[in-house]
Each structure stands twice: as C-alpha cells, then as structure tokens.
Amino acid sequence: MKLTGAEILIECLKREGVETIFGYPGGVVLNVYDVLYNSDLKHVLVRHEQAAVHAADGYARATGRVGVALVTSGPGATNTVTGLATAYMDSVPMVVISGQVPTGLIGNDAFQEADIVGITRPCTKHNFLVKDVKDLARIMREAFYLAATGRPGPVLVDLPKDVVVSSTKFEYPETVSLVGYNPTIEGHTGQIKKALKAILAAKKPVIYAGGGVVLSDASEEMTTFARKLKLPVTMTLMGLGCFPGSDDLSLGMLGMHGTYRANLAVTECDLLIALGARFDDRVTGKVDEFAPRAKVIHVDIDPTSISKNVKVDIPIVGDLKAVLTRALDMLKEEDLSSREKDLAPWEAEINEWKARHMLGYEQSDEVIKPQYVVEKLREITGGDCIISTEVGQNQMWAAQFFELDKPRCWLTSGGLGTMGYGFPAAIGAQVAFPDKTIIDIAGDGSIQMNSQELATVVQYNLPVKIAILNNRFLGMVRQWQELFYGKRYSHTVMDNAPDFVKLAEAYGALGLRAEKPAEVAEVIKKALAHDGPVVMDFIVDREEGVYPMVPAGAAISKMLLA
C-alpha cells in the first residue's frame, strides 16, 4: 500500500514509540497536520516554536526518550534555533521536523523559505533535507538513531512540501547503517584497569560528575562505585541529581557558584575522576589552576571532549554505564576493607572546609530571601518533584538550595544558558508525567521570554507551578555590574514587569503572591494543592547575590564568599 509523505512521517513517529509531539502549524505542514487530525498521536499546540523545542527538550531530559517537535518552514523553522542550540549544548536527544518549501522552489527565496539545514548545521548533531519521499522512512529511522545513541543530541529533518504530498510504499527499515557513525560504547579494558589502579593508589581522589552520567542512566552504577571506593563526588550544574546530594560523600556543585569544599577539594585533589563532564569554563575557571596537582581520568563517550581543555592522563572513551559496570565487575576481586581508614585524612580535610564554609544566607523577617523560597519548596515538596529553572540567579539558587537525590529531576539550560527555557521545559516534563509535581524556578526577566505558554498550560490543564523569584532585576547581570562595574546598573532594572498574578489570571491560571517571609510557605502549599497551573510571585530581596562566586577567569579556589 502506498502512503503519502505526511502519513509516512506519522507512521515513523509511531514506530519510534513517540506518544506526544510539540508543534505549531503552517502552510507547508498542512498535510502533516491533516493526518494528525484523526491520529492517536498526541500533539501539544504551543504558542511559540521556541517553546515547542524546549518542551520536547524537557520531555527528553525527564524521560530519557527522544523529544519531538514539528514546525512549519521559514519563521517556524528559525524560531527553533535557540531550542536546538540549547539541546545541542546539553546533549539532549531530540528530533525536530521542519516543513520546507517544495524542492522545486528551494533556493528561489520562495515565500517562507529559510535554509534551515544551513542555519542549524552548527547547532544540531546532524540534519537532513529529505529530497525524495522514498528516502523519508530511512531518514526518520536514522534521525532517531542519531539523536539517541552515542553522545545524544538534536537532529533536524527538513521536509519539503512536495515530499509530504507525494506517495510511496512504506517500509520502515529494520536496521540503520551509517558508515561514518560508530560510537564507542565499551571502554578499553586496559584503560579501565589503569584507572582503577590509579584510584586505589590515590590519597585525595575526587569524582567530578557531569550530565553524561544522567544521559547514560549511570547514576546507580556511579553511586555504587563512589560508595564502594569512598570517593567524594562533586557535580556540575548538568550532573546535579546523578548522585544523592544528601549523601555524606556529596560535595555539592563545583565551579563558578560551586561550594567552598567542592572547589577546594578539586584544587587540592591528587586524582580527578571526570565522568561525563567536559571541563567547561564555568567549571574550571582559570584552567592552569584547575586541579593543578591531580592526575586526571576522563570517561566520556565523545572523544572530542577528552583533552580539549585539560590534559587527560587516563582517557577512556565509552558509555559511562558500560564502563562503570565493567569497573565494578573488576573491583569484585579487590579487598576494599581499608578504604575508609586510608581515606580518612582526606575526608577530615574536606570536613574542615565544610565546617569553615557552608552554603547559606542571612534570613530576614521583613523581606523574602530568594534562597529561602527555594529551601521551602524543597521542604514542602519533600524533593518529590521535577525542577526546571530559568537562567540567572534563580538558576544558581535552585542549584545550590534545592538538594536533589535523583537524576532526571533537574531541567536546566547549562551549556547555552537560555533564559526562557524553564517554563516550556516544565511543560514537556508535565506532559510526560501528568501526575508529578513540576516546578519552574524562574526569574522575573526570564519568565517574560516565554510567558505566552501560559495559554498552553491552561488549554491542556497542565498543572505546572511557576515560582518567580521576583527581584525586579536581571539579577545575575546586575550582580556582575555590582561587583565589576561599580554598581552601574545599566539596563538591568526590570521595574516594568507585568503584575504576574494578573498575568496568570488573564490566561486563566491561578496567580499567587508572597511579599513577606511568613507568607511563603502558605503560597507554596496553596499552589501545590491547586489542580492546575499556578504562577507564584515571590517578591524577594532585590539585591541579594549568589555566593560563593568565582570571578570570571580566576582560579576556582579564589572564591568570593559573600
């Protein structure tokens, strides 16, 4: 039987196990939308294509499955660029399908034509222009395969109108054959042995765990590994949740806004065990002074991440889950009974740093401290929720004060730092887990970048809770201006924000406000009890800062503590 391109597309999505897509229609995808009209594939209509991509991203991060977005050509397609770049930086598996003008018109500056394959080449793992309906099924298969395997990432499939309309026999390929694509999964046994030897010999080892641990679903293996070997663990912003924050071995986050003990432990360690992390400049600070005394082990599925910024002594290319499973196997023969004793001096040193400086803030009865809101959210939910964040101080306070014990409960734009990410990402997570509590910890600036999605959550009754830490500033930028630009608050004052309670109400959502610390808990409880989307407007201390802070380009041991 012959199917049209549009039918084939939807059929491919089903074969890939896709249940929900996020999208926005337009001229060249009309035929696809026509097939969707009576398809059991769920489609969530967003209010801006950027949000479709972030929602697919949030869906993917929360579930580990490939997120899917569908948009029209030209402006629809260009609106996906920020979402693609966000997903690319954080290695999120995603397939974005964009409509395109008919093949015969490509290159003609046709109506709503944009060279989206050209535009997104540097911010996708790979992309395709489908030129013939006969190639469509194969390309869809390859797109999903590429998105989900190796180092995951977004893949764009550009689908011209004539391809969507024409028909061919539908056959979904069983296998994928891409000659130039063969990610290494199993780590090299000799290298793993070498790494274990170095770990057993180290006196001051530290695990530096990144988003790769979450992506490879290796949290369990890593947690067992760390506990078995008594290895302290620090996490990157992307890694948060991959190891229980409440565990005694957890040092918290490292880097620019990392904890005192994490940054000092990395600076003083004699062995740095980097797992699925990529030595980002926000983590390393001044590279020459990052783990200056340490031998470095680096496990990563992407060879380009290894020795890119920091010279690695024991590189292991492979999937973390496979490598850690292998390592745990090898450890079975080791006598580890003296680990605790052997590492006691290192533990004592770390505890001393911990005693010297802990994350904290000065509580007030008068004005709400943003950190207090985050702590209360943690306390009242018991941590049983998925947190997304916007970007800025809100993101860093969420990272510091919302202690996470599980992976895939943390949706944040780490690599690109995309304001406007958190709310649509929360939508994606809520669609995946209708009964879970999903909270977007937001800033007053960031939320305005995608607040139109309030219409979406109301339409589908997605009970996303937004907690705005409203400081009436582009707070993080203001903080830099305060510290490094003589308090010249150039264009960071946000005095003309809307009344967020009324904004919520205008869309048909519930709006709540807290202006005094005593009101915080009540607002949170009310929001959680409400069966529908809620905007919580917390009027917080305007000039609170995020600390510790490592000034850009300084060594991470050189922290400003307040």
Ligand X SMILES: Cc1ncc(C[n+]2csc(CCOP(=O)(O)OP(=O)(O)O)c2C)c(N)n1
* Residues at the contact surface with other proteins, assessed by CB under 8 A: 117-118, 121-122, 125-126, 129, 131, 146, 178-181, 302-304, 307-308
Closest CA to 167 of 197, 134, 123: 134
Q: Which does 551 bind (CB under 5 to 8 A by kind): ligand X, Mg ion, other proteins, none?
A: none
Q: Which stretch binds ligand X (CB under 6 A): 1-9, 72-80, 414-422, 452-460?
A: 414-422
Distances (CA, A) of 253 to 73, 256, 491: 41, 9, 30
How far is 344 from 453, CA to CA, in rounded Å? Answer: 52
Which is it for the CA torsion 96, 101, 107, 111, positive or negative? negative
Whether residue 112 lies in the annotated active site: yes
SS3 274: strand
The values of phi and psi at residue 410, to 5°, are: -140, 110
Residue 301 binds ligand X, judged by CB under 6 A = no
**Biggest alpha carbon distance in the chain?**
73
Q: In the structure encoding, which two tokens stand for residue 388, read together?
A: 């997304």
Candidate list 476, 536, 549, 559, residue with the active-site label = 476
| Interaction pattern, residues 110-129, with ligand X; x per rule: CB under 6 A | --------------------
Candidate list 7, 11, 16, 49, residue with the active-site label = 49
Min. distance of Cβ 417 from ligand X in angstroms?
A: 4
Whether residue 268 lies in the annotated active site: no
Determine which residue in the list 255, 392, 424, 548 makes contact with ligand X, applying CB under 6 A. Answer: 392
Candidate list 111, 197, 502, 522, residue with the active-site label = 111
Min. distance of Cβ 126 from other proteins in angstroms?
A: 5
Q: Which does 179 bind (CB under 5 to 8 A by kind): Mg ion, other proteins, ligand X, none?
A: other proteins
Segment 468 to 487, residues that bind Mg ion, using CB under 5 A:
471, 473, 475
Q: In the structure encoding, which two tokens stand for residue 159, read together?
A: 């689908």
Residue with tokens 């050189």: 558
Closest CA to 285 of 265, 267, 304, 298: 267
How far is 87 from 65, CA to CA, in rounded Å? Answer: 13
The values of phi and psi at residue 368, to 5°, are: -75, 125
Residue 390 binds Mg ion, judged by CB under 5 A = no
Segment 430 to 489, residues that bind ligand X, using CB under 6 A:
443-446, 469, 471, 473-477
Residue 86 binds ligand X, judged by CB under 6 A = no
Q: What's the DSSP call for residue 233?
A: E
The values of phi and psi at residue 425, to 5°, are: -65, -40
Q: Which amino acid is at 166?
A: S
Three-class SS string for 159-222? EEHHHHHCEEECCCCCCCCCCCCCCCCCCCHHHHHHHHHHHHHCCCEEEEECHHHHHCCCHHHH
Whether residue 396 lies in the annotated active site: no
Min. distance of Cβ 495 from ligand X in angstroms?
A: 12
Min. distance of Cβ 379 from other proteins in angstroms?
A: 44
Residue with tokens 């535009």: 119
Closest CA to 510 of 529, 535, 528: 535
Whether residue 161 lies in the annotated active site: yes
How far is 18 from 547, CA to CA, in rounded Å? Answer: 42
- Show Cβ contacts of residue 17 under 8 Å, excluding neighbours closer than 6 positions: 65
Segment 176 to 235, residues that bind Mg ion, using CB under 5 A:
none
Q: Which does 181 bind (CB under 5 to 8 A by kind): Mg ion, ligand X, other proteins, none?
A: other proteins
Determine which residue in the list 11, 280, 390, 403 makes contact with ligand X, applying CB under 6 A. Answer: 390
Segment 235 to 274, residues that bind Mg ion, using CB under 5 A:
none
How far is 407 from 409, CA to CA, in rounded Å? Answer: 5
Candidate list 19, 112, 228, 349, residue with the active-site label = 112
CB atoms within 10 A of CB 177: 9
Residue number with CB closer to other proteins (178 or 518)? 178
Distances (CA, A) of 120 to 70, 82, 160, 179, 399: 15, 10, 16, 23, 30
Determine which residue in the list 419, 438, 510, 535 makes contact with ligand X, applying CB under 6 A. Answer: 419
Min. distance of Cβ 156 from other proteins in angstroms?
A: 12
Report whether 207 contacts 231 (CB < 8 A): yes
Min. distance of Cβ 473 from Mg ion in angstroms?
A: 5
Whether residue 19 lies in the annotated active site: no
Min. distance of Cβ 317 from other proteins in angstroms?
A: 10
Q: Which does 476 bind (CB under 5 to 8 A by kind): other proteins, ligand X, Mg ion, none?
A: ligand X
Q: Which does 417 bind (CB under 5 to 8 A by kind): other proteins, Mg ion, ligand X, none?
A: ligand X
Residue 444 binds Mg ion, judged by CB under 5 A = yes
Residue 264 binds ligand X, judged by CB under 6 A = no
Min. distance of Cβ 397 from ligand X in angstroms?
A: 7
Residue 417 binds ligand X, judged by CB under 6 A = yes
How far is 509 from 503, CA to CA, in rounded Å? Answer: 8
Distances (CA, A) of 522 to 80, 384, 514, 518: 38, 18, 9, 8
Which residues are near ligand X by CB under 6 A? 390-394, 417-419, 443-446, 469, 471, 473-477
Active-site amino acid positions: 49, 111-112, 161, 476
